[in-house]
Structure 1
Amino acid sequence: MDNSEDVSIDMEKLADTLSAKLETLHHLSKDCSIYRVAEPKRCLNPRHFTPQMVSIGPFHHGKEELKPMEEHKQRYLKYFLQRTKVSMASFLGFIKAKETKLRNCYAATIRNLGSDEFVAMVLVDAVFLIEFFLRFYKRNFRTVDDRIFGKPQLRNEIWHDFLLLENQLPLFILYDLFDLAKTATYEDAFYENISFVKITCFWFRNHVLGFLPLDENSLEIHFSKAEHFLDLIILCLQPSQSRAQITLKDQNIPSVEELHEAGVKFKPAAGSTKNLLDINFNQGILEIPFFKVYENTQRAYRNLLAFESMHGYKKYFNDYIIMTACLISCPKDAELLVQNEVIRLGNTETVPTVFRNLDPDCTLNSYNFQYSGVVTNLQAYRKLPWHKWKATLKQNYFNTPWASISVIAAVILLLLTATQIVSSLIAL
């Protein structure tokens, strides 16, 4: 047998090996909505994508640094089961029947958890979230051994992990498990007038809306369509009004200070507008929805950006970050917005840094930028000399009552002097 026959046999073996691998490939479902962040992006800001206190779902399950919270999860499961006649085995069987659907929600193959481990993990994590929201909604659900609600600082640190892209459970399983528990309780009135949507939206209104202005009614409207918590926020952030799509010819978006010098005024958006993304410019006034900046703002925003991009949504939040990063490019910009009650924060140095750090994660598409019309009108307003002259007069000479009086007195004195000179010339 010649050498060519040996090569042919080797290639057949290699083909068989590769074919076997192809047969074991994980089925990619179109239903996936929970993603792993790409390693290059994670390396730049690892803490922003990694839970610090509690793991939810399979991606960070079993990590050594998160194990202290596992006992609290199990304690919540114990109390949850004590209120219902539904057995733990029934809950596990219910999840087992939906295992394929649950696994398909994750973009990465979950190889580290077998079927039993996966089902148990879903039950413990899902009930932890349900019980957390129940105890936040009604104090009488809390127990004396509850260290989470007994220590507000711990509770505040935990809930930030609920908004991480890699730390999600599909909402449908939370919704279904809660309803299953309600079918047979030891006290009929225990869950009276309580639904999973109600307790979850109550928590969102009291925590998430503090740094992410949303129309409160949109939470219930979008809840049935949302895949998980981040998806719910992104759906609620969809602009409340459609904007005329025009090409942004000049990508130089002016800052707040530059606009202030051109006479643009700033005010928080009208009370009826609750959506963070509703930035508008009309008749020399730039309306920006009021927002606050917290320690974890950058972390939450970065996860929203990652999810919006990976899930293929239209990049509304991406455009908002670009717009805001340009508007607030230095502490002076932030100071002007604080003075005009558009933002609230403790340190004007932090806001430009937050948005400047987020900006590299974004891409400006001139053909599909949602604020193209706003930016074009701002640029045109800024180019008119009259607006700048008027602003200079007001800011430098009429900025206080005493300055105004001084200017008026100077003008009157100048007119009197001119009149006296004219009278003297006539007399000659």
Structure 2
Amino acid sequence: MESFNNTKQASASLKAKLSQLSGAQSESTIYRVHRHLRNVNPTAYEPEMIAIGPYHRDNEHLKMMEDHKLRYLQQLLVEKNPPDGVGWYVAAIERVEAEARKCYADQPKTLTPAQFIQMLVLDGCFIVQLVRKFDRVNSSETNDPIIQMDWMINSLQRDLMLFENQLPFFVLCELYDLIEAPDQHSRFWFLLRRFFSILYPGKGCDPNCVTPVAPRKVKHLLDFIHRSWLPPPSHPGKGRVRFIDSATRLEEANVKFVLRSEGETLFDVGFEAGVMTMPPLTVEDRTESLLRNLIAYEQYFQHTFVTDYVHFLDCLVDSSTDVEKLSRKGIINNWLGDAQTVAEMVNKLGDSVAGPGHGFVYGKMFEDVQKHCAKPMNSWRASLKRRYFNSPWAVISLLVGAVLLILTAVQTVFTILQVV
């Protein structure tokens, strides 16, 4: 009898846990970055100025922004004068509190429903008011230190896209509907794209191109940024090649790099007849953090075009020499100044990231590049350059040797003529 009771209790307990797990797993959209990825560069995933959502709210250095959140909420209440004051926003968010809580994979169990609702209202109203004020920065926003200081805006743009620093997107839309007007999401999309537009390190986001989808189809602001960055056009076929040589090695094999001024997106890279065309990539202080968080996002969800592009870039850049070559072509705009720093950043972006899958965007292009480099003339050219032209001293030695060979030949000819 005791054995039967133990079996029954164990079965009931496991069934309950399995039921809870399946529900939480299917609804989660906001995760913590997994340890292996975080350990490569922890600071890339951590907010510098503001905590949004539950994961970083207890960090001491971020609490200075809590007063700014309250000020922005107060400004909204004065400007919009909702029927029940702040209760107007609280009541709306209370209706979606349970749904919002399930969006967090690491659920904020220490927060009571009232505390969780307060957090959603304060954080959500701050974001909505921030993008509203940013849109009218040149008119009435002269007394706001956040809006008037570029460094604060730059930090906020970075912090608000971090994978762990998110609110469910439908919460932002609920609040925007109350603050502005119901179902005016095309305007909200425009404001968000305008706010984040200078964060993108390359082509692909046009704030005037607004194609909103249903709020619950967008997971959070990082997902919004990912959706707004146009992926590369479909490439014909799916190649199996996953690696190509560095830019320096490819140049040795008669590959030419050309800046692509046309095209709609950073990821629209092409290769034809020995010419690789690439749109410009700007590398500045926030670029690594943006790319790392987008890669972290793609590790959990589909559409890995950012990860594929970073893998392509990692193949091209082995050293500072490769960065300098691409910079001279206008392909890399190096705002960091030091080519070695850019090379090290690129080389580490792919650490602890799953390699390209079967849908690798640049697989067919990689095959074409390898076929080009394997042609006898290009292969011989590359081998010759590496062997005889890999340093100034090697070039000098080769020239001296050629001169000596010519002099020897001339001397031989004169000797023969004298004998004759």
Instruction: Give the shorter-chain TM-score range.
Output: 0.7 to 0.9
Kindly indicate whether the alpha-carbon contact (under 8 Å) linking 2:312 and 2:362 is maintained by their aligned counterparts in 1. Answer: yes
Give the SS at the match of 2:51. Answer: coil
User: In the aligned structure 2, how far is the partner of 1:302 from the partner of 1:213?
Assistant: 18
After TM superposition, the structure 1 = structure 2 runs for residues 185-264 of structure 1, keeping only pairs within 5 Å, are 195-205=187-197, 207-209=198-200, 211-216=201-206, 220-221=210-211, 224=214, 225-237=217-229, 239-249=231-241, 251-264=242-255
* Structure 1 residues 171 and 287, CA gap change in structure 2 (3 angstroms): same
C-alpha separation between the residues in 1 aligned to 2:155 and 2:237?
41
Q: Distance in 2 between matches of 1:149 and 1:208?
A: 16
Report the Cα offset of residue 152 of structure 1. Answer: 2.6
Q: Taking structure 1 as reference, are residues 220 and 226 closer, same or farther at Cα in structure 2, changes over 3 Å only? A: farther
Pairing 1:57-72 to 2, within 5 Å after superposition: 57-72=53-68
The whole-number CA distance in structure 1 between the counterparts of 2:381 and 2:345 is 33
**Alpha-carbon deviation of 1:126?**
0.8
- The corresponding residue for 1:142 is 141
Question: Is there any run of 5+ residues in structure 1 with no aligned partner, and where?
Answer: 185-191, 398-413
1:15-52, Cα deviation, whole Å (9 max, x unpaired): 67667766766832634321122234333422122212
1:155-197, Cα deviation, whole Å (9 max, x unpaired)? 322221111101111222222312212259xxxxxxx999322
Show the counterpart of 2:309. 320
Residue of structure 2 aligned with 1:75, choices 54, 71, 75: 71
Q: Distance in 2 between matches of 1:308 and 1:340?
A: 30
AA aligned to 1:67 is K
Cα pair 2:270 2:365 within 8 Å, conserved: yes
Structure 2 counterpart of 1:306: 296
Shift of 1:219: 5.8
Deviations 1:365-384 (A, max 9, x none): 46432211111111111122
After superposition, residues 74-223 of structure 1 pair within 5 angstroms as 74-86=70-82, 87-139=85-137, 140-142=139-141, 144=143, 146-183=144-181, 195-205=187-197, 207-209=198-200, 211-216=201-206, 220-221=210-211
1:281 corresponds to which residue?
271
| Cα distance change on mapping 1:373 and 1:183 into 2, 3 Å | closer
Tell whether the 8 Å contact from 2:320 to 2:339 is kept in structure 1 after alignment: yes
Paired with 2:61 and 2:45, the residues of 1 have a C-alpha distance of: 15
Structure 2 counterpart of 1:126, one-letter code: G
Q: Secondary structure at the match of 1:83?
A: helix
Partner in structure 1 of residue 354 of structure 2: 363
Residue number in structure 1 paired with 2:393: none
Q: 1:195 to 1:217 in 2, by over 3 A?
A: closer
How far apart are 1:67 and its partner, in Å? Answer: 1.0
- In the TM superposition, what is the alpha-carbon distance from 1:330 to its structure 2 partner? 0.9
Kept in 1: contact 2:193–2:207 (CA 8 A):
no
CA distance 1:125–1:143, shift in 2 (3 Å): farther
The one-letter code matched in structure 1 to 2:73 is L
Q: How many angstroms does 1:208 deviate by?
A: 1.8
| Residue among 337, 342, 347 paired with 2:326 | 337
| Contact 1:34/1:105, CA 8 A, preserved across alignment | yes
Q: Secondary structure at the match of 2:80?
A: coil
TM-score, normalised relative to structure 1: 0.80
User: Which residue of structure 1 lines up, in the alignment, with residue 37 of structure 2?
Assistant: 41
Of stretches 334-343 and 55-64 in structure 1, the one that deviates more from structure 2 is: 55-64
Task: Output the CA distance in 2 between the equivalents of 1:114 and 1:171.
Answer: 21
**Quick one: which amino acid aligns to residue 321 of structure 1?**
V
TM-score by length of 2: 0.81
- Does the 8 Å CA contact 1:238/1:316 hold for their aligned counterparts? no
TM-aligned CA deviation for residue 234 of structure 1: 2.3
Per mean C-alpha deviation after superposition, the further-off stretch among 221-230 and 49-58 is 221-230
Q: Report the Cα distance in structure 1 between the residues aligned to 2:232 and 2:6, rounded to whole angstroms.
A: 63
Letter in 2 for 1:353: E
8 Å CA contact retained: 2:246, 2:318: yes
Q: In structure 2, do the counterparts of structure 1 residues 83 and 223 end up closer, same or farther at CA, with 3 Å as the change threshold? A: same
The whole-number CA distance in structure 2 between the counterparts of 1:91 and 1:366 is 44
Instruction: Write the distance in 1 (CA, Å) between the matches of 2:129 and 2:229.
Output: 27
Whether the 8 Å contact between 1:237 and 1:277 is mirrored in structure 2 is no
- Alpha-carbon distance in 1 for matches of 2:223, 2:374: 40
Distance (Å, rounded) in 1 between the aligned partners of 2:368 and 2:376: 15
Q: CA offset at residue 74 of structure 1?
A: 0.7
Partners in 1 of 2:352 and 2:209 — Cα distance? 27
Unaligned runs of 5+ in 2: 390-405
Closer/same/farther in 2, CA of residues 23 and 234 from structure 1, 3 Å limit: closer
Q: Number of aligned pairs?
A: 387
Match of 2:374 in 1: 383
Change (3 A) 1:153 1:241: closer
Residues 31 and 49 of structure 1: CA distance in aligned 2, closer, same or farther (over 3 Å): same
Are 2:266 and 2:281, in contact at CA under 8 Å, matched by a contact in 1? yes
Alignment deviations for residues 117-144 of structure 1 (CA, whole Å, 9 cap, x no partner): 1111111101111121122111245252
Contact 1:230 1:304 in 2 (8 A): yes
The separation in 1 between residues aligned to 2:252 and 2:172, in whole angstroms, is: 52
**Could you say if the C-alpha distance between residues 238 and 148 of structure 1 is closer, same or farther in structure 2, counting changes exceeding 3 Å?**
closer
Deviates further, 146-155 or 165-174: 146-155
Separation in 2 of the partners of 1:389 and 1:10?
75
